[in-house]
Structure formats: C-alpha cells, structure tokens
Structure 1
Amino acid sequence: MPAPTNTLLIEGTFSELAEELAQYVDNIAKADGNGVQAEIQELLAGIRESEQSQEGGVDESTVKNQKNEVLKKIVTRAQVLNGAPEREFTAAYNLLISLATQSNISDQIFARLCAYLSEHPVTSSPVYGGTLAVQTLTTIFNVLSPASESRYHVFLAILKVIRATSSTQAFEALIPQLETNIPFWLQSWSLDDDDARTLFVAVADVASAQGNSDLEYTYLLQALQTIESKHASDEDSASLARRALITALTNPSITDFTPLTDNDAVIALRRSDAALFDLLEIFSSDDYSAYLDFLETNSLSSLSIPDSAADVLANKIRLLTLSSIAATTPTRSVPYAQIAQALQIPSEDVEMWVIDTIRTGLVEGKLSQMKGEFLVQRATYRVFGEKQWAEIQGRLMVWRRSLESVLTVVRSEREKFLREGVNGGDDAVRANGYGDRDGDNQGYNRGERQQRRGGGGGRGGRRGGGGGGDRERDRDRGDRDLQQNQQREIEVGGD
C-alpha cells in the first residue's frame, strides 16, 4: 500500500504564480524597476508560451530549466518575506513552497528557505515570529516524501527555531512525536552515525533550553551510543561525554549510572578528565564518606559543575549510600544507628532520609520505630557485577534448600496418609462393632438357618405362635445391619 502523500494546492499556472510572487517580493523590498520581477520577465515569456501552446513539440527540458532559473532568482531575494505582514506571511511562503514542488531542484530551494526561517528572525511579528517560522517549516516537512533525506535538514531547522525562540508551546507539541517518530525517521532517512548524533544532540539542546533535563539526558545517551570505539577519545566525543556525565550527576532524578560506566567515550575520560571520572565512580559504587574525601582535594567548579548543584550531589549520594546499605545487609534489617553513621546525619533525621529513598524507588520497606530499624523488602543495586551475581546465587540456593525441605515434609505426610489413612478407617469400622464383610455374611447366614429351623418344625411352629414374628424381626434386623455395614464401608473407603 503506497504511503499517504501531502499536497499543497494553489490555483494558477506556474508563470502566473511566479510573476505574482516576484511582484510581492519587490513590493516588500521596495525595488523600483530593477527587482526580481524584471529579471524573470524574459524567462516567464518562454514558460508562458509553452503553457499556452496547444501543439506538441515543446522541449520539456528547456521549460524545466527556465522554471529552475525563475525559482533561483526569486529564492535569492526571498529572505525579505520574513518582513511580510503577519497576516500575509504564511500565504507568501506557501506560494513559494508550491512553486518549489514543481521543480526538480526543490531540495536546494527548501534548504535555502530553512536557512532563512531558522537563522533570521521574522521581523514583522516579534511576538509570534517563532510560531510562524515553525508552521512554515512544518509545511515544508510535510510536503516532502517520508523517505526524503531533506526532511532531516528541515527537522533540524525546526529544532533550531524552537530552541532560539524558547517556544514552550511548540516544544510541548514536539515531545510526543519524538519517541514515536525518530526511530522511524532514522531508518527512513538512512542516516549515518554522525548525522544521527547531530540529530540527538539537537533534541538535547532544545530540551536543555526548555529546562527538561530528563529529556536532555535521554538524547545525550543516545548520542553517546553512536560513537564508535575507535573515536571514543576524540575531542568531540570527550566533550559530549563530559556533558552527559555532568547532566546525569546534577539531575536529582537520575540514580542509575550504568549506561555511562559502560560507554567507551565516558570510560575514555579516565585519561583526559580523571577527577570527573573518579566522581562518576563514587556515585556509581561508593558512599557518602568517599564523596566527602573527594571534595577535600577537588572542587565542583573545577569540574565545570556549578556550585548551585552542590546540594543536589550531596543529597543524591546520601540516597545512594542508603540504597547500598539496604541491598547488602544480610539480615534485611538495618538499624537506625547504622544509617545515621553512614549518612552522617542526626538520628532523628533517619526516617526522613529513608522515606526520601523510598520515594526515589531505590528501596522498599517498613520503618519500625519501636525497634529502631528499617525492615528492607526490596533494594536496588547500584552496581551489578560478579559480586552481586554471587550474592543472588547464594540466596537462590537458600531458597532452593528451603523449598526442598518443604517438599520433603509434604511428600512424607502424603505417603503417611495413603499408608495409614485406609487402615485407620478399617480399624475404626471394627471398633464400632462392624466386622468385615465375611463376618457379616456369617451372621446373616446364621439368621437364615435359624429361620429355616424354626419354620421346618411344624409343631414347634404351632406351639410358639410368636416365635415366627421374632424370627422375622431377627431377619429384618440382619438385613438392616448388612445394609449399614455396606454403607459404612463405602464411607470409610472414600476416594
């Protein structure tokens, strides 16, 4: 299924629209007689003749060249459109964009227009100039095919305008598009690592200008991932690594430094920026005491970290220290005194720091004021290496042995039930006066013999008139006993 196309519809022939635009440009530039309109008249005459011709035989290549020359002359002076009245600005640029789409040099024309809109202000509207520029650039972006590499340059121009004008509205509208579209654009535009890195850094610059440090760090990390190992020590790579590292350290919400410690460009800072790299190692695996020792020999300003970030760094390293204590404690119970000593805080502030650490998502647990302990339910490892894997292996072995013990007990009880449950039921039957089935049958047979014996003696039967009734009652009682015994056996056997 073909991709949807974006179309800009403007009525009129090329010659009519070009002449109208040239006249408008001359009016804004206040050119009298020697403007762009005079320069393109001869070219327009040839184009007009081809448009009006009803006969074939028109040299299309010649007409295309004439159109290209007309557009070049108009675009050369089109910067004056930035001074067009606000109500006419969009219409004038849309007309120029429409003419450019009819040319085979549209990419060159759009590149020049992007420069006009991103590098020069819209002087006719100091307040809404940035918005007008972004709207026009968006129009250019949309008329291009999705796979066009020119979209890459247009998008960079859009980012540049948003950054220069600090347009919060435009930035908020841009954010939802980034996560969804950028991966698709990178694939469609077939960008190499350098171009992709330029795009990521441009997004990070816009986020930084808007004060969105989380988004800035996200795209700085993506930019770092485009650096090949052989270029990790280059100056540009080192500069980007320093920026990403400082952004991570000074951002209160970033507590996972693994993406930085695993990056080649950041690791290369060990040689060029040893102190900054040492600070990264403290925040990734060390504690508050080590941080204080570091500050005794290094200042934050010497690392290009503003002094205003000192409180952020101190708070963060305390939270990370508490997380490490919770993750490494063997008993899952941390005394308040241990926390106070590690964080170098008063005992009465321990609960506040624990609550703050829980809020960051580093730990989960409960505070026991009576015992003066923090009961750890979950803790995040700051560094996950061989030591942590060994610890997890040990815990899994303990859980395995516990489960094996439980299974052994369950299996033993099940076998005991299967072995003793049925026998115990038979004993219960006998204890209640119900014998086995053979015994019951013997009793029943005795009753029958007694009945036959009593019924066979004629005289005895006549003399004991009530004896027959007794024998009938005995037989009925025997039948009921047999039925009860059979029912009771079914109940005991069970399923």
Structure 2
Amino acid sequence: MAPRGLVFVDGSSNDILQEIADYVKIGDEIRPLIEQGQTEDALAAIVKASPALNSAPEKEIGPAYNLLIFAVINYSKDPKKHLQPICSNLTKTITSSPVNGRDLALGSLSTVFNLLAKDDPIRFNVFLQIVRFVKMNNMFDTIKPALKNVPGWLEAWSTDEEGKQRLYVELADAAEAADENKIAYEHLLEALRTFDADDSASEEAQKLALRALKMILVIERPWAYDFQGLRALAPVQSLADTHPVYAQLLDIFAEQDLEDLKDFKLEHEGFFEKEKLDEKILETKMRLLTFATLAASHQDREIPYDVIAKGLQIPSEDVELWIIDVIRAQLVEGRMSQRDRVFKVHKTIYRVFSDKQWRELQSRIDVWKSTINQVHTVLRVQQVEAEKTKERQQQELEKKLAGAGISDGPPQGRGGRRPRNDNDD
C-alpha cells in the first residue's frame, strides 16, 4: 500500500465541500446545508451523488475521488458510514476509462486506506474491499508486498477472531484465483488457526479444513509435501469425527507409505472419483513420500536400487528417474552410484518425528560421539608419540654435538678470542 500523506488540499472545509458538490452537479442543493453548518447532511448528499464520478473524464477521476475521500475522513463524525458506499462505487466499472479504470479505482481505494490512521478499525473494511477488487480484476500482484503487514494490521485494529478468519479467507480466495497456491494455502492455515477448540467442529471450520487438505493433496510443489502443520490444527483433527475417510487419507500422507494408499483405494472404492481427486497425482506424491521414508530409515545412508524399486513399486530401470524427482521435490538430497547401484543419501526430511525418530536420532548421536572419541584417542596417541620422537631427536642431537666438542654456547679461546687456525691469513 502507498504511504500516507499523498493528498494535498488547499481551502476551507466549506469551499471543499462546495467544490465537490458542484462537480457532481448538486451545488445549488448543497449550498444551504453548507452555509448552515450541516456538514453531515451535506456529505451524505454528496456521497449519494458520487457514482457520477465513475463517468467523469479520465484525468479528473483520481483527483475528484481523492478530494471526496479527504473531505469524508477529515470532516465527518462517522467516516465509515460514507466510506462504504464510496468504496462500493470504486469496485464498479469506471465507464469513462475502460483501459485505465481499474488502476484509477485501486489508486483511490489505496488513498482511502492510507489517509486513515494506522490503528483505525475502518481500515479493515477498506482493505477487505481492496482484496476483493484485486481478485475481481486479476491484480493480486499489487497487494503481495503488503501481505507481510497483515498480522500487524489486524493487531493494530484489534480485530476479533471472526474478522481475522474472514480476511484470511478472502486473501486465500484472491491468491488461489491468481494461481498463487502457496500463498492461498498459508492464509487458509491462518484462517483455521482462528478457531478455538469449541468451534473446531463447526460447519465453517470443517469446510476450510477440507479445502486446505484437498489443496495440499493435489499440488505438486516442494512446500506441498509437509502435512504436519495442517495435521496439528484443531479443525483438521476434528475431521476424524466429521469426515473420517479424509482423516484416514491425511494420516496416510502424513506418515504411511504407498502400500497403505493402495489399501485405502481398495477399501474406499470410487472415493477419488467422487471427490474429484486426481489419483495419478496422489500416487506420485505418495511414491515420493515413501522414498523419503526409505531414505530416513537407512542408517547406513545408502539405499540399493532394488529396495527403492520394491518400496515404490516401480520397474528397476525407472529408479534413477524417481531419484531425480525426489531431489527436485526437495525431500531428499544425495547422489546416485550407477556402478554400485545404490543411492547415497546426504540429507532427508522426516515426515513425522515421533518417539521412533527420537530413538534413531539418539542412536546416531551415540555413534557420532563414539567416532569422535575414537578420533580424539588416536590423535592424542599420535601427539604423545610425536612429542617422544621430538625429545629423542633432541637428545641424539645433543650427544652428537657433545662428541664433536661443541657446546651449546659460542666457541671461545683465551681471553674470549677464538683459537687460531693454521689456515688463517
């Protein structure tokens, strides 16, 4: 959203109100109200006539709306009453500017938002209108930079849980319409977090829980393989009572493997078709998740191709293609050894971190500690040996020097002069 303070107005309040009234062609009607100080009545009449601004010349639409918005925010005792119809006008077609109309409208909506105080609760409704507008006009990119501010805004506006839920769902709708599925999913999770334990099984909570689950099931992106964040939310946990088949499917994708998905399909024949879930996508995701489980469970960090083929239920000649896919999905890191026909795991995700995984981690830490202790012992022995060797060499050198009649100090003759050599000149 643009910074505040972009509207500059010169003139008294009466002059400004009269100017706007003249522009929407009700000047004579409003003049007595203005002269009698009936500002609220004058503003109400002007706002009622303001739809006429949508057919004003293109160059005048922005300034005219900005002036009206300024007057409402600064002169009305109840700006919310007037801003709502103004925002409604701006979400409708600007007939005089079919090309630039949506940009002009969004600019004026942003002016409304930015002229209000940062902690003014009216901003909530204005921002809601902006979100709906950008969805309707395929302009989601214009508000993406502002999304990081939403939690702070909601806190500043003292928004209740119902209001937060409402805004987060609107943002999810707008993002999904723009194919920004990750942003949509994140805001669905935020909406689900607004439900307390008592409301987690409500119709609205369950509707959102199913929507989020269906979204993450059928999307093939690295972020869409983490089911634990969704699974931890109270409304999603309530699916076990309201939609047990979906809850079972979530459990499979959260911590089970391909064989379990096959059993699910047999147990609930026709479920995927009825719920319009792409079975091919589901099996592909499940194979990759099964691969991640295999990588996490092999403590030697090497998985034979045959084990991969069996676990993923694929031909052995396709193993390397699935290795590429699992790396691309950012579930596992490693390298292939075509000579040894093994996949060497460098890093892998844990789909679920339960007592079993904690025990495995403790076991690996114990192995690392043992290895480090062994290395430390070897290094210490080598250090002692090196010191002994150095000491022996020093002793041998001193013996040789003593045998040659050389002391540690400089050689001296009588009177401190060096002895004369017959070869000296």
Q: TM-score range by the shorter chain?
A: 0.7 to 0.9
Instruction: Give 1:293 shift.
Output: 2.0
- The match for 2:62 among 90, 106, 122 is 90
Conserved? CA contact 1:83–1:122, under 8 Å:
yes
Deviation of the 1:322 alpha carbon: 0.8
Deviations 1:232-285 (A, max 9, x none): 111111111111111111221111111011111111111111111111111111
Partner of 2:345, secondary structure, is strand
Change (3 A) 1:70 1:424: same
Change in 2 beyond 3 A, CA 1:272/1:302? farther
Aligned to 2:225, the other structure's residue is in SS state: coil
Cα separation, partners in 2 of 1:435 and 1:172, compared to 1, 3 Å: same
Q: Normalization by structure 2: what TM-score?
A: 0.88
Where in structure 2 are the equivalents of 1:243-262 lying within 5 Å? Answer: 243-253=211-221, 254-262=224-232
2:342 to 364, 369, 373: 373
The two structures have a TM-score, normalised by structure 1, of 0.76
Are 1:151 and 2:120 matched, yes or no? Answer: no
**Does 222-231 or 148-157 show the bigger shift?**
222-231
- Change beyond 3 A, Cα 1:201–1:269: same
| CA deviation profile, 1:14-42 (whole Å, cap 9, x unmatched) | 3344334334434xxxxxxxxx5454343
**Which of 97, 103, 107 is the equivalent residue of 1:131?**
103
Choose which of 348, 367, 377 in structure 2 pairs with 1:408.
377
Deviation digits for residues 420-450 of structure 1 (CA, Å, limit 9, x no counterpart): 54245324544x473599x979xx9xx99xx
Q: Which secondary structure does the structure 2 equivalent of 1:366 belong to?
A: strand
Q: Distance in 2 between matches of 1:410 and 1:393?
A: 25
Q: 1:98–1:417: structure 2 CA closer, same or farther, 3 Å change rule? A: closer
Q: Which is further off, 232-241 or 126-135?
A: 126-135
More moved, 407-416 vs 132-141: 407-416
Q: In structure 2, which of residues 277, 287, 290 is the aligned counterpart of residue 318 of structure 1?
A: 287
> How many residue pairs get matched?
410
Larger helix proportion, structure 1 or 2?
Answer: 1
Give the root-mean-square deviation of aligned CA atoms.
2.8
Taking the TM superposition and a 5 Å limit, the aligned residue runs for 1:33-432 are: 36-37=26-27, 39-46=29-36, 63=37, 66-100=38-72, 101-118=74-91, 120-167=92-139, 171-179=140-148, 181-253=149-221, 254-296=224-266, 297-298=268-269, 299-303=271-275, 306-307=276-277, 309-419=278-388, 421-427=390-396, 429-430=398-399, 432=400
Q: Percent identity?
A: 35
| Structure showing greater relative contact order (alpha-carbon pairs closer than 8 Å, 6 or more residues apart) | 2
Aligned to 1:10: 9
Q: For 2:11 and 2:388, how far apart are their aligned partners in 1?
A: 99
8 Å contact kept, 1:133–1:161: no
Query: SS state of the match for residue 250, structure 2?
Result: helix
Aligned residues of 1:6 and 1:144 also touching (Cα < 8 A): no
> Residues 74 and 406 from structure 1, CA distance in 2 versus in 1: closer, same or farther, beyond 3 angstroms?
same
**Is the 2:70–2:115 Cα contact (8 Å) retained in structure 1?**
no
Instruction: Note if contact 2:109-2:126 (Cα within 8 Å) is conserved in structure 1.
Output: yes
Aligned partner letter, 2:21:
A
> C-alpha separation between the residues in 1 aligned to 2:6 and 2:367?
67
- Distance in 2 between the 1:315 and 1:233 partners? 31
Cα gap change, 1:81 to 1:326, in 2 (>3 Å): same
The alpha carbon displacement at 1:94 in A equals: 2.0
Conserved in 1, the CA contact under 8 Å of 2:401 and 2:407? no
- Give the secondary-structure state (helix, strand or coil) at the position aligned to 2:129: helix
The corresponding residue for 1:30 is: none
Residues 365 and 374, structure 1, Cα contact 8 Å, conserved in 2: yes
**Matches of 2:9 and 2:388, distance apart in 1:** 93
Structure 2 distance, partners of 1:127, 1:293, is 55
Supply the AA of the counterpart residue of 1:45: E
In structure 2, how many angstroms separate the alpha carbons of the residues matched to 1:436 and 1:302?
102
- Shift of the 273–124 alpha-carbon distance from structure 1 to 2, 3 Å rule, reads farther
For 2:182 and 2:356, how far apart are their aligned partners in 1?
31
Q: Which runs of 5+ in 2 are unaligned?
A: none
Identify unmatched segments of 5+ residues in structure 1.
27-35, 47-62, 449-472, 478-495
1:341 aligned counterpart, secondary structure = helix
Contact 2:24 2:49 in 1 (8 A): yes
For 1:207, what is the secondary structure of its paired residue? helix
Cα distance in 2 for partners of 1:240, 1:405 equals: 55
Secondary structure, counterpart of 2:344 in structure 1: strand
